[in-house]
Structure 1
Amino acid sequence: MAMYLDVITGVNDILLRAVRTVGTKTALVDHSREVTYGGLYSEIGRVAGHLADHGVGPGDRVALLMANSVDWVVATLGTLRAGATSVPIPVTGTAEDVGFMLDDSGAATAIVDAEHAPLLHSLRESRPELGALRIVAGGSGELPSGVVSFDRWLAEDPAASPYDSLGVEEPAWILYTSGTTGKPKGVLLTQHSMMWVVGAGWMPFLEWNADDVMLNPLPLTHSYGLDVTLAALAVGGQMVTLPRFSPKQVLELLEEHPVTVLVGVPTTFAYLSRALRGKETEYRRRTLRVCVSGGAGLPAEIVEETEKALGAPLLDVYGATETSTAMTMNHWKASRVPGSCGVSLPGMAVRVVDPADDADRDPGSEGEVIVRGPGVMLGYHCRERETREALRNGWYRTGDLGSLDSTGHLRITGRLKDLIIRGGENISPVEIEHVAVQHAAVVDCAAVGQPHEALGEVPVLAIVCAEEGDARDRLIDEVAALCREMLPSFKQPETITAVDAIPRTGSGKVVRHRLKETVQGKFAGEHEKAT
């Protein structure tokens, strides 16, 4: 498959090319403003210069605590043009999470929007290690003493010029992992690794081009949302974003804009397809040509419902923050292998091995997925031991279980550490989840292991119901019957319980240790039923 090598370069080169060719075209649209390529480049340059005026340069880290917006993109790319490393912090995190990431990254400067500025001020006052943190805040109101105005930076020319010499193989971003099993780790990614996925993945596999309008409701703080943004700029297209995912707002934006590409995670499309039940023909006439899902396993039922509702193919991609988003993709015009997340990107080698001895598994046999190639991270920030464990002999250990068929199509079957071991039998939570989600009234679900005196561990299923009251109790009975029908006895959940929401990261992964805590607290609740 042909690659687009010309985009595998520094972001500044990409933007300069866009300014020369489509400078007056709208590049980005958010809930409050839009900006052309020419305007975007100017704003990024001003932010870079102002950072330099304040002593920020090579080797420094600049944190971002901002909701999805044009300003977010300006801030992260302005940091790169200043020669520094950008540290995006998820706005969904707790004060403890934000404080940890600021301290762990060593950021001396933080750019924050008006909504989250009070949190940053509070952290600076309460945590001595953050006392010297320089805050650059958005918003038009009066700012506290010592806080710099981001809006002024956007409007006024700085004294200094942008550094513009950050090497493409130097750390450009520290992106914190989801922390599904503990404290998040800062993943060091380069411009080269992120743009490799653009030139070897998004462009050749999905044929993204200058005519595309991409609707991106993903958190830009995650590698998936960020790389989609870089891809939109690289092809000279247009990207529409919103502060946080809302099915209602996404459907409104599909009405307002000629969207051709919609990206999300499986829960994005689950909620959208349910919101569109009975209204499918309204959206099948739209401009949408392809939908893309990543971040978690994509059940066949969600694919079927989404394609029926939106009239466009829904393609699964597979990757991780540590691989700069994607390592396998499905081509949007090629025939698909059901349940597969595609084939490896050019230059990325994907293997399925026995975790015990790294021997390659036969086609169709399950093992751990490992990957090597230009998209793989430099390592974890200030974590040498974890880096050595994750990168062995040049191969990144994903911790995911999967299988490769004879044509190179990858299927993900679960997580090595998520396996539930019931009386010596291995059970993947994904197997149970794929059965439960087949019920039309199950909005979301996840399975976890719970301790058992005799068996060591048993599976427990949590479901988010579309029904309330007695209907919810009936649904639990019906899901239990579905599991008995479709799963062998040892894989059937010991307990099914209804929850308000499945704890997930911004990239769609289940935070299983939090779900275990929730389920344990509900064992005596009224919505539990043993199967």
Structure 2
Amino acid sequence: MGPANAMNLGRLLTQTARRLPDHVALVWGKRRWSWAEFDARVDRLRAVLAAAGIGKGDRVMVHSRNSNAMFESMWACFKLGAVWVPTNFRLTPAEVAGLAETSRPRALLRDWGFAAHADAVQATGHAPFILAVDDARPHEQDYETALAAATPPPPDHEAEVTRDDPLWFFFTSGTTGKPKAAVLTHGQLGFCVVNQLADLYPGTTENSASLVVAPLSHGAGIHQLGQVARGARTVLLPTERLDVAEAWRLVEEHRVDNMFTVPTILKALVEHPAVDQHDHGSLRHVIYAGAPMYRADQLLALRKLGPCLVQYFGLGEVTGNITVLRADQHSLAEDNGGLPLNTCGTARTGMEIAILGEAGKRLPPGETGEICVRGAAVFAGYFENPEANAKALRQGWFHTGDLGKLDARGYLTITGRASDMYISGGSNVYPREVEEVILTHPGVLECAVVGLPHPRWGESGIACVVPREGAVLTEADLLAHLDGRVARYKQPLRIVLWDALPKSGYGKVPKALVKARLVEDGIGFD
């Protein structure tokens, strides 16, 4: 590596703590930490890790619910020049052990109750040093005790870094195959913070507040970087599960003006009666990402919250940084204010999108192909995975694996994952198109359409539908609803009614899980 040519991202916290020492940085339940207190704790954790022999480039795995310790670990790793390796706290010990084999951490920070996860990680031969919150065993160090005993480092101790030095292993959700560790770097995330402040939540200041309703291990963690840069307070939910009533109470109490959500969380927030019982007029940027939002759900959210919805499309590999549909570009009008009905917006500032065909050539406006992107937000590749890198990073572009089309103005519409598309009778079927129409039925709460092998058509669709409470639905009702609204070849041949759709730990509905349940239930085409 050459000489340092980038700011250590941990300096964002250092700068904010110097500028706003007495402002509230973090709220969790009844506890409050000022920026000076939070930064001092981060520096002590950095000292604990350094004393344990953790240094630049070493990986620190974190298996934790959202908490002050998890947030502190992020910044301590950044300042140390180490690599933050957060996992989804809902994963099993065996799954976390698999991530440890991929990332080879030197240390593990675990939340209370996750001793079995620590044992599974250590059984792989990694993470000899363990910090535990509240229930440390004899061979582990208690988090608070270690911080209290640490000698704080001198000022300006942040590690010297280059733009390409890694700071975060962002695990792909792994719904198809083994999760991969996407390598995020100081330079890449430095760009992304500036981009967020320009495109996603402009005008954020130390007078702002951000409510965290999703795991900090993924998109919500990326979102909080810009909050720290601006000195906005971060408010964590006091409970492990999403407590919608408490979320709205906190919005009112802290005058929350921005939050990061995924469509399933936003849907839960606006369908709960508490949305009408608390003042949420402070909201300016309610960001939803991670999966496309169905138009019916989008309209309800707009009616409940007003013009504060911001959509972005992206993947962990580009830290969510592909498109933005601003609050003023959302519309209740049937023609969507003149924009394509289900668009996810235009390219983020500094990023370029192309729809590429099979041969890697750009397709003209209106044609469907793979969504590809390039620019400063693209990651450095998957950790020690040349095969995956060769597939994802080729022809000068990052290949998302998503299908979509651009219009002549540059508005992107996603038609689905390449892996979700199925071919029925020789014709391509994009499940999202069919799902959108099914969701316009007043009795439907949620649905997922998947293609399964069919003896005559090659593949045909099965729609898995969850009725709204009190609604009585039949397969005949739904097929009648689709008649005339969707071409015959796109219509599912079967409709099954379920109490709920299977969801990942991030609230998404992976089609692989839907297919697995259908197989388990013996549902298919003979």
TM-score by length of 1: 0.90
Cα 1:34/1:285, change in 2 over 3 Å: closer
Q: Distance in 2 between matches of 1:275 and 1:34?
A: 28
Map of 1:4 onto structure 2: none
Pairs within 5 Å for 1:62-81: 62-81=60-79
The alignment status of 1:488 with 2:487, answered yes or no, reads: yes
1:98 aligned to which of 74, 96, 99: 96
Pairs within 5 Å for 1:303-314: 303-314=298-309
1:233 aligned to which of 228, 231, 234: 228
Pairs within 5 Å for 1:29-108: 29-31=27-29, 33-108=31-106
* Displacement of 1:285: 5.7
Map of 1:265 onto structure 2: 262
Cα 1:32/1:176, change in 2 over 3 Å: farther
The alignment status of 1:172 with 2:170, answered yes or no, reads: no
Q: Distance in 2 between matches of 1:441 and 1:220?
A: 34
* Displacement of 1:52: 0.5
Map of 1:5 onto structure 2: none
3-state SS, counterpart of residue 363 of structure 2: coil
* Displacement of 1:158: 2.9
* Displacement of 1:494: 1.6
Pairs within 5 Å for 1:18-417: 18-31=16-29, 33-116=31-114, 118-124=115-121, 127=123, 129-130=124-125, 133-139=128-134, 141=135, 143-158=136-151, 164-210=159-205, 211-222=207-218, 224-242=219-237, 243-276=240-273, 282-283=277-278, 286-333=281-328, 337=339, 338-354=341-357, 356-417=358-419
CA contact (8 A) 2:201 2:258 kept: no
* Displacement of 1:280: 6.2
State the Cα deviation string for residues 76-128 of structure 1 (Å, max 9, x = none): 21122222111101111122211100111001210011132x22244157x3x
Q: Distance in 2 between matches of 1:450 and 1:307?
A: 35
2:433 aligned to which of 431, 434, 438: 431
CA contact (8 A) 1:340 1:409 kept: yes
Which amino acid counterpart does residue 218 of structure 1 have in structure 2? A
Which amino acid counterpart does residue 486 of structure 2 have in structure 1? L
* Displacement of 1:144: 1.6
CA contact (8 A) 2:251 2:280 kept: no
Which amino acid counterpart does residue 130 of structure 2 have in structure 1? I
* Displacement of 1:485: 3.9
CA contact (8 A) 2:105 2:127 kept: no
Cα 1:98/1:463, change in 2 over 3 Å: same
Which amino acid counterpart does residue 148 of structure 2 have in structure 1? A
Q: Distance in 1 between matches of 2:126 and 2:234?
A: 37
CA contact (8 A) 1:259 1:287 kept: yes
CA contact (8 A) 2:252 2:279 kept: no
* Displacement of 1:282: 4.2
Which amino acid counterpart does residue 192 of structure 1 have in structure 2? G
Q: Distance in 1 between matches of 2:78 and 2:448?
A: 39
* Displacement of 1:251: 2.5
TM-score by length of 2: 0.90
CA contact (8 A) 2:346 2:410 kept: yes
3-state SS, counterpart of residue 379 of structure 1: coil
Q: Distance in 2 between matches of 1:269 and 1:100?
A: 31
Which amino acid counterpart does residue 269 of structure 2 have in structure 1? L
Cα 1:487/1:9, change in 2 over 3 Å: farther
Q: Distance in 2 between matches of 1:373 and 1:436?
A: 37
Q: Distance in 2 between matches of 1:248 and 1:495?
A: 37
Pairs within 5 Å for 1:455-474: 455-467=457-469, 471-472=471-472, 474=473
CA contact (8 A) 2:96 2:121 kept: no
CA contact (8 A) 1:50 1:153 kept: yes
- How many percent identity over aligned positions? 28
* Displacement of 1:475: 5.3
Structure 1 residue ranges without an equivalent (≥5):
1-7
Q: How many residues align?
A: 507
| Shift >4 Å, 4+ stretches | 159-163, 279-285
Cα 1:523/1:441, change in 2 over 3 Å: farther
Map of 1:478 onto structure 2: 477
Q: Distance in 1 between matches of 2:111 and 2:488?
A: 52
Please provide the CA RMSD for this pair: 2.3
3-state SS, counterpart of residue 130 of structure 1: coil
* Displacement of 1:208: 4.1
Q: Distance in 1 between matches of 2:7 and 2:349?
A: 16
3-state SS, counterpart of residue 487 of structure 1: coil
Structure 2 residue ranges without an equivalent (≥5):
1-5, 331-336
3-state SS, counterpart of residue 481 of structure 2: helix
* Displacement of 1:334: 5.1
CA contact (8 A) 1:185 1:380 kept: yes
CA contact (8 A) 1:124 1:133 kept: no
Q: Distance in 1 between matches of 2:309 and 2:350?
A: 25
State the Cα deviation string for residues 276-332 of structure 1 (Å, max 9, x = none): 3xx765456631123111011111211110111123432210100010122111233
CA contact (8 A) 1:263 1:291 kept: yes
CA contact (8 A) 1:63 1:89 kept: yes
